[in-house]
Chain A
Amino acid sequence: MSSQFPLQNTHRNGASIARTTLEQTALFLRQNWLRLSGIAAALIFFFALPAMFDQIFGFSADFELHRVSLIGIFIIAAFAQNILTGYAAQPSLGNAAFFGVSGYMVVWLVNDLNQPYWLGLVAACAVAALLGIVTGGPALRISGAYLAIASLGLVMLANSILTLWDTTAGRESYLFNNIPAALTDDHSLYYFVLWVVIITLYLGYNLTRSRIGRAFTAIRDDEAAAESFGVNLTRYKLLAFTISATLTGLAGGLYATWGGTASSSMSSVDQTIAFLAMIVIGGLGSIIGSILGAIFVGLIPLLLGLLPNVITVGTVQIQITTLNTGIYGVLLLLALIYFPMGLQTIPALLQKFLQRRKQS
């Protein structure tokens, strides 16, 4: 055991700490080349995607691209859930409440009150943030499974109220007629969402690596130790609730824009669990996990929809459409069993694989 103790202070070398900026940059590039090239490749892919879609799918392309934009919206919502659950370790399932309320707010402000779109979006985020603070405060008193179910109750409450609003107003759902012309076309909507996702994730990346983000993850690792170094548990948990609600509000506003309508199904139990499913599949406490999880949950049903309706094996005809949900469930199970820490581990596994190839 004595070899475990790093007690010899032989190699003290203050000079090794100070490096020039150039050297630091070079070191950073050397250590992160795989990640950086991955990001670059992903950016090129997503910016070029609409062009490729046109070539591959021809006339039906716009519809598919429209569906791809939805995945972008899910990425924001998944990251929001991840800040709360993956980083700050609050097992809250209430995010769909903010998602729905914000969707209705945007439509109400822009449609009925004739406010500019950007103002509607910002105001909806602000309302979501406020709701996040109002509900997050008391939620701090609740922990574990209680918080999960209590926040589920919040979603059902939002769902009932929004449904009631619709029934009282005598409509099926809240149609969004006043969407700015620039966002009604699928290509521009795609790029708008893409930019919002990039900016959100970039700022989010900075935040998670800052003093604030570290306070979240310190609370997750050890509340008592975090508190002993001055991390105010109440303040930071509440902050996580607020940031998460705000981003979910942003996603909700975009979703209403995307679908051209806000409906109470945005605040459904299925929707809120889908957000949790995204980060569980992708990986808790990880940005890449939020992205991969949202892609998994958003893309698999899309791909299953592309399967032929009926497959004939020998003389047996299999109705694929009726099996979609089950196939999706099986894929979900397989992902959870083989990647219990989420799909975020794929890049690391890939890196290990590449290094082993290099060595041999």
Chain B
Amino acid sequence: MAAFLQVTLAGLVTGSLYGLLALGIVLIYRATGVLNFAYGAIGAIGVSVMYELIARGHFNFWLALLCALIFSFIFGFLLERIFARPVLNAPVFTKAIATLALALVLQTIADQIWPELAQSVRFATPFDSITTRIGGVYIRLTDIIIIGTASIAMAALTLFLTKSKIGIAMRAAAENMSTARLMGAPVSMLIALTWAIGSLVAALAGIMEAANLNYVGVHMLDSALLYVFIGAVIGGIESMPGAVIGGVLLGIADNILALYLAGHTLGPVNIGDPGVRESIIFAGFVILLFLRPQGLLGQRQLRRV
């Protein structure tokens, strides 16, 4: 039972990070119709900037965090202006492949600036060593901070989009760009803002992942990104709460499967192998979508004649 709770906690930690990343992806997808394959690279650059400030600038952890988040916000804004703007009205596939090209460019730039981050480098936080034990379950302060921060960030973002004037305008622009423009909304500014917030969220999630794993690397979010896409789609890619739920479910399922498959064999196959776990998750995902094509919380689309 303790082991089960322990992996559930780990699942909740990775899950809330997946959920946060999924939220950022859904945000940009709804605003611009782009499946942003560069999202992992954008987040990794935010983490790398923080690493730079701590390691070379000798900043205090919290100041570095603040600066990295501000940097990511501006960085996202600039990315939209320089990169996403020219392809905004291109066909949807063109936009998706363009983000892929962007990921290649960003990763090359990051590799040039931080060659040492091609491998994993230790990433320390002020609260690393603080751990408590409740009923056989070890709980790190890091775990609590991650789950708490991710929940607050997700709630804040949802409130911002549904309650604030700017947030509502952003959603209107996402629904129908030309109508929003006719009604006087500064659409181009709103889309840039979406990218800026998206980038901020990516950096925040990336930094928490670095705190969780205790290491930082330019490619640290690459493998997570696919899980995040899957999480977003499980929840329903038009739905923000859906994205969060999908991400959390995936994180928990992954960790629990890892626990129960470890050390077992099935004939010649070692089912403790991560490959088996992945197969089960991907197969489950594909089957789930076959059964519920619009995701858990997505709306079924009506066809017009």
Segment at the interface with A among B10-18, B163-171, B265-273: B265-273
Is there an interface contact between B105 and A329, defined as CB atoms closer than 8 Å? Answer: yes
Q: Hey, what's the 0/1 contact readout for B225-244 against A, CB within 8 Å counting as 1?
A: 01001101100010000000
Q: Is the interface of A mostly helix, strand, loop or mixed?
A: helix
In whole angstroms, how far apart are the Cα atoms of A157 and B90 in the complex? 31
**Contact size class for B?**
35 or more
Q: Least Cβ distance of A323 to chain B in Å? A: 6
Chain A residues within 8 Å of B87, by CB: 336-337, 340
Q: Least Cβ distance of A250 to chain B in Å? A: 23
Q: Tell me whether A329 and B94 are in contact in the complex, defined as CB-CB below 8 angstroms, given that A149-B233, A157-B286, A273-B37 are known contacts.
A: no
Q: Least Cβ distance of A234 to chain B in Å? A: 14
Chain B residues within 8 Å of A153, by CB: 230, 282, 285-286, 289
Most B CB within 10 A of own CB, among A148, A160, A281: A160
In whole angstroms, how far apart are the Cα atoms of A160 and B230 in the complex? 16
Say which residue of B104, B108, B293 sits within 8 Å of A142 (CB atoms): B293
Q: Least Cβ distance of B78 to chain A in Å? A: 15
- Report if B162 contacts A (CB, 8 A): no
In whole angstroms, how far apart are the Cα atoms of A340 and B97 in the complex? 11
Is there an interface contact between B97 and A332, defined as CB atoms closer than 8 Å? Answer: yes
- Report if A73 contacts B (CB, 8 A): no
Chain A residues within 8 Å of B269, by CB: 164, 168
- Report if B129 contacts A (CB, 8 A): no
Chain A residues within 8 Å of B8, by CB: none
Is there an interface contact between A333 and B102, defined as CB atoms closer than 8 Å? Answer: yes
Q: Least Cβ distance of A47 to chain B in Å? A: 32
Is there an interface contact between A156 and B97, defined as CB atoms closer than 8 Å? Answer: no
Chain B residues within 8 Å of A138, by CB: 290
Q: Tell me whether A150 and B286 are in contact in the complex, defined as CB-CB below 8 angstroms, given that A143-B293, A329-B108, A337-B86 are known contacts.
A: yes
Say which residue of B90, B93, B105, B282 sits within 8 Å of A154 (CB atoms): B282
Is there an interface contact between B101 and A332, defined as CB atoms closer than 8 Å? Answer: yes
Is there an interface contact between B102 and A160, defined as CB atoms closer than 8 Å? Answer: no
Is there an interface contact between B293 and A85, defined as CB atoms closer than 8 Å? Answer: no
Q: Tell me whether A326 and B105 are in contact in the complex, defined as CB-CB below 8 angstroms, given that A145-B35, A154-B282 are known contacts.
A: yes
* B residues adjacent to A (C-beta < 8 A): 29, 35, 37, 83, 86-87, 90-94, 96-98, 100-105, 107-109, 111-112, 226, 229-230, 232-233, 237, 268-270, 273, 275-276, 278-279, 282-283, 285-286, 289-290, 293-295, 298, 301, 303-305
* A residues adjacent to B (C-beta < 8 A): 85, 91, 138-139, 141-143, 145-146, 148-150, 152-154, 156-157, 160-161, 163-164, 167-168, 223-224, 269, 273, 276-277, 279-281, 284, 322-323, 325-330, 332-333, 336-337, 340-341
Question: Top 4 A-B pairs ranked by shortest CB distance?
Answer: A326-B108, A329-B104, A332-B101, A329-B105
- What are 12 contact pairs spanning A and B, CB under 8 A? A138-B290, A142-B293, A152-B226, A153-B289, A167-B275, A223-B303, A273-B100, A280-B93, A329-B103, A332-B100, A336-B87, A336-B98
